[in-house]
Amino acid sequence: MNLTFAQIRPEDIDFSYLLMGGLLVAALIGGLVCTVVFWNFGSLWLQAKTSGADVSMASLIGMYFRQVRSQVIVNAKIMAAQAGLDIDRKNGISTQHLEAHYLAEGNVMNVINAIIAAQRAGIDLDFDRAAAIDLAGRDVLDAVRTSVHPRVIDCPDPKHSGNGFLSAIAKNGIELRVKARVTVRTNLEQLIGGATEETVIARVGESIISSIGSSDTHLVVLENPNLISRTVLKRGLDNQTAFTIVSIDIAHIEVGQNIGARLRADQAEADVRMARAQAEQRRSEAIASEQVMKARVAENRANLVLAEAEVPKAMAKAFKSGHFQTPVPN
């Protein structure tokens, strides 16, 4: 019996079949979605689950949409869990904290490695401080390693020094060329905002030069270089820096030029040149005075010649006027 759509009555429709069909379609769609999700994130989820890393499937899906590399987060979370770090979702190193640091363009793996290294060495370093150090542009893992194994830096820095020596002059004028080695340990408390290696090198170099300059003779420094090291170390040169100075050692010292004698020789030469200049000035003044006197003599002679020329004129005038008289002899 064929019925048109208009002839079908509601009581003739079996809604159970429609409901079952809808449920079947929904189940197929859900199964397809689950298959796709498990295909993409199942291996990571199982890896985290078997390692006790506490990374949910929803977090993995959210990382995909937030463009976060889930492999990095999962590996970091597994490392933290296996190292015995606190990965509690509220107070520990949670997945949300790791994602936030990744989105801030931080080095997640470097931070986790630094925290693990600090824990093994008994150094108090939590995730927030490590993340702040990393975002500040410092290598937090290298900072922790330097805290455990102090670093030795050269003073002066060979990269920025031509001859690799500090030049200092004692009070007696003798130059000493010094090379020092500074042992430093990272100060995690002042790493953010603290001065860098260059500041420590500059301060140590300035203090060594100042200490040698205050020595009476260069022999005092040569006899006991440790006096300079102890004096410099007491000045607190690591204040407001990212490092703590462990020791300052004079690695090499040699005698340079006699700067005092050279300066005295230069001063004597300058005095000689000044004396010569003054003598030349006096000689020039004497020559000028002589020329002035010669000019005056010539002027007087000219005046004498003029006066002598007036005598004949006077005599001729006297003859003409009849006033010229020859004296009568007695």
Over range 228-246, report the average pLDDT: 85
Predicted local confidence at residue 113, as pLDDT:
92
Q: Options 3.40.50.2300, 3.30.479.30, 3.10.105.10, 1.10.3720.10; which CATH number does 150-261 get?
A: 3.30.479.30
Residue type, 233: L
**In whole angstroms, how far apart are CA 129 and each of 111, 118, 190?**
10, 12, 11
Tokens representing 1 are 């019996």
The phi, psi pair for 149, rounded to 5°, reads -115, 100
Whole-angstrom distance, CA of residue 179 vs CA of residue 226: 13
How many Cα atoms sit within 13 Å of 11 on the Cβ side? 0
Predicted local confidence at residue 5, as pLDDT:
45
Largest CA distance in the chain: 205
In 256-294, which positions are buried (b, 16+ CB within 10 angstroms) versus exposed (e)? eebeeeeeeeeeeeeeeeeeeeeeeeeeeeeeeeeeeee
Q: Are strands 243-258 and 166-169 parallel, antiparallel or unpaired?
A: unpaired
- pLDDT, averaged across the chain: 81
Q: Are strands 151-155 and 174-186 parallel, antiparallel or unpaired?
A: antiparallel
Over range 151-161, report the average pLDDT: 84
Highest mean pLDDT among 6-20, 47-61, 138-152: 138-152
Percent of the chain predicted with pLDDT > 90: 7
Whole-angstrom distance, CA of residue 123 vs CA of residue 136: 20
Tokens representing 215 are 């020595």
Instruction: Tell me the pLDDT band of 277, cut-offs 50, 70 and 90.
Output: very high
Tokens representing 205 are 């170099």
For residue 73, pLDDT beyond 60: yes
Paired with 182 in beta bridges are 153, 248
Higher-pLDDT residue of 58 and 131 is: 131
Global model pTM greater than 0.75:
no
For residue 1, pLDDT beyond 50: no
Over range 46-52, report the average pLDDT: 76
| Every domain of the chain and the residues it spans | 12-82, 99-149, 150-261
Higher-pLDDT residue of 125 and 46 is: 125
H runs (alpha helix) in 52-139? 57-65, 70-82, 95-103, 108-121, 127-135
Over range 28-49, report the average pLDDT: 66
